[in-house]
């Protein structure tokens, strides 16, 4: 095994060299992109969307390198690395214990505190990520209910019905990630944003009722489409004096089957 130095960490050849090299590449990419954006902005008054996309992509690349570097560093630290790795993995896991007490009334069926999948330079970007994480979590939790609930909530539904606005948290990443971000020269501080997600038993019951109503409407629609296809077939067959019975029957079956498939799979 490699020997530890006086500070209790592995020597440079063990792990810091590849991490420093990766951060250097990320820093160069970020610097070049920001420099290009500033030149474009001076000519075009910062209205070039391509420059903004390039800057954002460079920032995301640098943040990804920072998070990966911090994770690699935490894995190689002999003692304190375990705590850093634990905190880092918890943040990357997106889901934590709720920060608030349940709402009064109907008991909560789903209660989680959802964090952004990784740190961001902007709270607004981190918040958009939280909404997506909450949407994915709710779809998964609905499917795990007994019996399962097949429901994929929209972002608007997540924000309006299931997100606790009073539980918004903004927290910095671990010290390891902050150190790596400083070395990479990121222009700002990284933050995680989180919210409590809560779904009550009444809300689940309402979703199940909506699904049953929609299923009943589908059955009614299939029956009506079948009846209409039979009616049209009989009228058309009578009008053609039976010369096109086979083709008309095929058309009626196609119409009824197509309508039923559309109502089942939409």
Residues 6+ apart with CB under 8 A from 203: 106, 109, 161, 162
> Which of 41-55, 173-187, 190-204, 250-264 reaches the highest mean pLDDT?
190-204
Asked if 171 and 190 count as a contact pair (C-beta separation under 8 A), the reply is: no
pLDDT score recorded for residue 209: 93
pLDDT tens for each residue of 241-266: 878 888 888 888 888 788 777 777 66
pLDDT score recorded for residue 149: 93
Within a 10 A sphere around the Cβ of 266, how many other Cβ atoms?
A: 7
> Which of 40-44, 133-137, 187-191, 247-251 reaches the highest mean pLDDT?
133-137
pLDDT-wise least confident of 11-20, 58-67, 187-196: 11-20
pLDDT score recorded for residue 73: 58
When pLDDT is averaged across residues 96-125 and rounded to a whole number, the result is 89
């Amino acid at each position: 095994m490699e020997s530890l130095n006086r500070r209790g960490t592995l020597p440079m050849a063990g792990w810091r060299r590849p991490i420093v090299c990766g951060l250097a590449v990320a820093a160069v990419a970020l610097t070049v992109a920001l420099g290009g954006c500033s030149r474009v902005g001076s000519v075009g008054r910062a209205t070039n969307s391509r420059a903004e996309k390039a800057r954002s992509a460079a920032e995301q690349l640098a943040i990804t390198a920072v998070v990966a570097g911090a994770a690699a560093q935490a894995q190689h630290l002999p003692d304190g690395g375990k705590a850093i790795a634990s905190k880092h993995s918890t943040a990357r896991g997106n889901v934590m214990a709720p920060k608030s007490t349940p709402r009064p009334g109907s008991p909560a069926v789903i209660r989680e505190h959802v964090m952004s999948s990784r740190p961001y330079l902007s709270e607004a970007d981190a918040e958009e990520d939280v909404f997506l994480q909450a949407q994915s979590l709710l779809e998964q939790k609905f499917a795990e209910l007994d019996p399962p609930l097949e429901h994929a909530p929209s972002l608007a539904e997540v924000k309006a019905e299931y997100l606790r606005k009073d539980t918004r948290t903004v927290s910095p990443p671990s010290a390891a990630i902050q150190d790596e971000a400083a070395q990479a020269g990121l222009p700002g501080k990284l933050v995680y944003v989180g919210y409590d997600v809560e779904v009550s038993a009444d809300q689940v019951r309402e979703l199940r009722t909506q699904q049953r109503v929609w299923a009943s409407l589908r059955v009614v629609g299939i029956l009506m489409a079948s009846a209409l296809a039979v009616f049209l077939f009989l009228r058309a067959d009578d009008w053609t004096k039976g010369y096109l019975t086979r083709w008309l029957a095929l058309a009626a079956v196609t119409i009824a089957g197509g309508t039923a498939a559309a109502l089942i799979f939409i």
